[in-house]
Amino acid sequence: MPRARKPENQGLPKRWRLAHGCYYYQVPPGHEAAWDGKQTFRLGANLPEAYKVWAERLQVVDRAKTFAALLDRYALEVISLKSVTTQTQNASAIKPVRATFGPMALADIKPRHVYQYVDRREKKTAARREMELLSHALTKAVEWGYLDRHPFKGEVRLEGEKPRTRYVEDWEIVECLSLESRRKSGSVLAAQAYIRLKLLTGMRRGDMLRLTMSDLQEDGIYVEPGKTSGSTGKRMVITWSDELREAVATAKAARPVPLSPYLFCTLTGECYFKENGRAGSWESLWRNFMARVMEETRVAEHFTEHDLRAKCASDATTLEHARSLLAHADSKITDRVYRRKPDLVKPLR
């Protein structure tokens, strides 16, 4: 027999109770994640407030029965905290996922649906990334209390992309830095300064192009990686060395607008990296620079800015040092993707 409700609780919705002048909701077991991890959730000090909070919570909990609803919340609460570039990539990936799985109930998806999706998509690389996004959304669904378990985590094995193996040799860097500039500032000199700074710090392109004069402090270069700005907000300080000071001085001298607040700036003194995550002017500068490198030096194989970041990680003495430079939370990605030099193994005897 269910226990009779107290007089003050009669007429209230199921699992509500009035205590100490406030209204509370007794969260059903297993649904705590959808109610801020609490077993007893405070709704409000009066009925209007309690019903308002209750309606908002029910709207979130009840509507996340389909993938379309889950992806709505995922876009709002997860994607919105990522870097601008990643937001753009995720927004592109979420469209075909929503079109395919939107009407489906969360509990109905099976591992075979993932394999079928990837098999039918012509762009296999894009398909894998779309399924990575879907998988993470389902992980959040478990956290938010919509599902008790991830429906295919650990049961799906998709063949991943093979990491690039291009390692930029030291002599190739010398060739790039020896390219003659036709002007006293900008263009070639900026690209060469960028290369020097990239090889010393391993910074991502967006982080380097957003560097300002105020980031250059007495004890080092202060950097807030764009990857963590919307989540942990963790900052790092790259301490000075003679080489690093020289590289920064070279970058300052290469600026077309000496009074610009940015270490790397456009012809009008503005930041190359725009709010939409694009850096079109810089991409054009780098493309033209590499065209001259390929035409006027002994470098025969094209390399990217990302390959320079990998060279920094490869040349670091230890894996942990490489991980710190690249601001990775886990050294696995550093080792698998960025450490491109062959391991030196001593013979037994």
Q: How does DSSP assign 64-117, residue by residue?
A: TTBHHHHHHHHHHHTGGGS-HHHHHHHHHHHHHHHHHHTTSBGGG--HHHHHHH
- Among residues 125, 137, 75, which one has the least CA distance to residue 101? 137
Q: Which amino acid is at 196?
A: R
Provide the pLDDT confidence category of residue 7 given band limits of 50, 70 and 90: confident
Between 342 and 233, where is the model more confident? 342
Helix (H) or strand (E) holding 239: strand 236-239
Print burial letters for 265-285: b (CB count within 10 Å at least 16), e (below 16): bbeeeebbbeeeeebebbeeb
Residue 81 has, within 13 A of its CA and on its CB side, a CA count of 10
CA dist., res. 17 & res. 340, Å (int): 62
- Asked if the model's pLDDT at residue 258 lies above 60, the reply is yes
Confidence at residue 5, expressed as pLDDT on a 0 to 100 scale: 64
Q: Please state the rounded mean pLDDT for residues 151-157.
A: 87
Helix (H) or strand (E) holding 119: helix 111-120
DSSP string, 125-148: HHHHHHHHHHHHHHHHHHHTTS-S
- Asked if the model's pLDDT at residue 195 lies above 60, the reply is yes
Handedness of CA 8, 11, 17, 18 (dihedral sign): negative
Which two three-digit tokens encode residue 260? 């610009």
- Among residues 304, 318, 290, 327, which one has the least CA distance to residue 202? 327
- Asked if the model's pLDDT at residue 189 lies above 90, the reply is yes
Between 220 and 61, where is the model more confident? 220
- Asked if the model's pLDDT at residue 21 lies above 60, the reply is yes
CA dist., res. 73 & res. 67, Å (int): 10
- Asked if the model's pLDDT at residue 240 lies above 90, the reply is yes
Starting at the earlier edge strand, list the strands of the sheet with 220-223.
Answer: 216-217, 220-223, 236-239
Confidence at residue 10, expressed as pLDDT on a 0 to 100 scale: 63
Confidence at residue 79, expressed as pLDDT on a 0 to 100 scale: 81
Question: For 104-139, how does the pLDDT look when each residue is reduced to its tens digit (9 = 90+)?
Answer: 999 899 999 999 999 999 888 899 999 999 999 999
Q: Can you tell me which residue has the tokens 């990680």?
A: 313
Helix (H) or strand (E) holding 123: none
